[in-house]
Structure 1
């Protein structure tokens, strides 16, 4: 059955792939964005220009609207979550928030097993509505805490029929974070990777698989948090070596005892999610090995020469540490 769907975000990376899948499935899709990024969907979508972080603007834009499904790609804090509750409570059939593996970050080192959804006690999570969540200078350091508090507030309130999809580290697609590009540039520069723990693997998911799982989650009837990650977790050292193998480069690595200046995806302890709940619900993820090599190839300078994403990495021998959010809509 075709649905009336709102996607908050949807012009970049996973969000753009999600919208395409929804359109391919025959759904009616409305995009809510600030209107700053062209989406390429033409007349196939309706558009509402609105600032997701503006209470009044959101109320004005969606005061009388109702949707079968809302995908919130831009909920980064409890303030954003409060806006969602105020605007959409009682008016949506299903609310799917794109969350992240980062909600488990502060649990690293406390258990040997992969993180299950209920390992995170959201009932005990403090919520700070006065923190400057929307300050761009604090975006990186507040990302994990913001996602965690957003989930806590939404579940604590209970008025939205809520699913929070906790995505693994997303790679591939038009990823602008530069995280995988870091390892490609490092391998091609011949400089050594400095790493903390060779066995501290973490969970990844391709941008295509992430968008597919989000689309699937919207059409199901389960509620609550659900982990989403491909099989085949990797440590930073594993990833570095894989990049070298794919590119035919001899790579070097040196262990460190400090946590300062480490590369993306380098963690002191294993940081892996358990996806058993998704499997029980009927979804089967792929394996990181099935798409990682292609994602690496696509970042070779000769393939992306002249693009904004490649410039920083081809001009400097060692890229400065890049931003590490787990999900970008």
Structure 2
């Protein structure tokens, strides 16, 4: 297949690119050119991909750089707002047979269910879209990340039919190139025996290993299903689960400090953050259990520090 990846030059994207190339697909990367096309994971020759340079927010620039190119599948790694989704629908409506958008567990930010949340809890066809909100403002977008993704999904789900898949990705762990700093947040405090702020009622969440979500996206590219799909490994994790493994690897002492108000550590949640992955499983993807990869994932990230 001929596949375009928008923003696929780091972290999950470069792993996805490598898998697609290994499977014999032709891959093109589209980004702003601030970094080169991915050179793969670890050492090695650059991957044989074409790089197109354009700002995905600039519709005229997209039209110009794409020309008469068409693609079997477009994988959009950096669609955060309904405005970006609307541009993508117009530009790729006649250029792509199918569109795979990387969405997020954050679309469920208003859900708080003891049971894992299924896709129908947030039906993008029922989500109101407001293109006039200040989506270009970084502060606004950061504070409304889940809402931006919900509305982006809604744009793709609206009539007329547009063949799209929204992969609602759980919190991602692993990789020496994890750029979030969340694991190191815990490691620093555990090494020093400093308190780690957690809510008084600290809920578990679902996670996915970086290599597994890249594998899932590659599988989704080759599939034909559409609509939202939850993607995460089996076995929810708690803050204590991750701290225990980090302590085992770096030494020190874990001190969890319950707080009623104020900022808490990044993998601490006052509400349930569990998704249900039964749709993906029924479609044919076999997820691993978090216990199988947690040690390896944390070791990769901590070893790079």
TM-score band by shorter chain is: over 0.9
More strand by share: 2
1:145 equivalenced with 2:147 (yes/no): yes
Structure 2 SS opposite 1:68: strand
Q: Structure 1: how far apart are the matches of 2:33 and 2:133?
A: 27
Number of the residue aligned with 1:294: 296
Contact 2:230–2:275 (8 Å) recurs in 1 = yes
- Deviation for aligned residue 1:198: 5.1
The 5 Å alignment of 1:212-291 reads: 212-258=215-261, 260-291=262-293
Choose the corresponding residue for 1:160, options 137, 162, 177: 162
SS at match of 1:184: helix
- When residues 177 and 91 of structure 1 are mapped into structure 2, their CA distance, relative to the original with a 3 A threshold, is same
Structure 2 distance, partners of 1:198, 1:248, is: 26
Q: Find the partner of 2:173 among 168, 171, 174.
A: 171
Kept in 2: contact 1:201–1:271 (CA 8 A): yes
Match of 1:307? Answer: none
1:114-145 Cα shifts (integer Å, max 9, x gaps): 11000113233221111121222334212111
Cα deviation code 1:30-63 (max 9, x no counterpart): 1101111132263611111111111111122224
Q: Quick one: distance in 2 between partners of 1:114 and 1:90?
A: 37
Dislocated runs of 4+, deviation >3 Å: none
**Equivalent residues, number:** 298
- TM-score, structure 2 as length reference: 0.93
Tell me the secondary structure at the aligned position of residue 164 of structure 1. strand
Match of 1:10 in 2: 8
Aligned to 2:186: 183
CA-to-partner distance for each residue in 1:183-231, whole Å, 9 max, x for gaps?
1112112111121155500111111101110000011111111100011
Whole-angstrom CA distance in 1 between matches of 2:24 and 2:162: 25
Q: Is the 8 A contact 2:209 2:233 kept in 1?
A: yes
Contact 1:195–1:237 under 8 Å retained in 2: no
Alignment deviations for residues 53-112 of structure 1 (CA, whole Å, 9 cap, x no partner): 1111112222422101110111100001001100011321211000110110111x2x32
Equivalence for 2:125: 123
- Show structure 2 runs of 5+ residues with no match: 41-45
Which residue of the partner structure matches residue 43 of structure 2?
none
Is there any run of 5+ residues in structure 1 with no aligned partner, and where?
A: 305-309, 311-329
Distance 1:123 1:28 in 2: 32
Distance in 2 (CA, whole Å) between partners of 1:157 and 1:163 is 15
Cα distance in 1 for partners of 2:151, 2:240 equals: 31
Instruction: Pick closer, same or farther for the CA change 1:127–1:208 going to 2, 3 Å.
Output: same
For residues 184 and 291 of structure 1, what CA distance do their matches in structure 2 show? 18
Return the match for 2:30 from 7, 11, 32.
Answer: 32
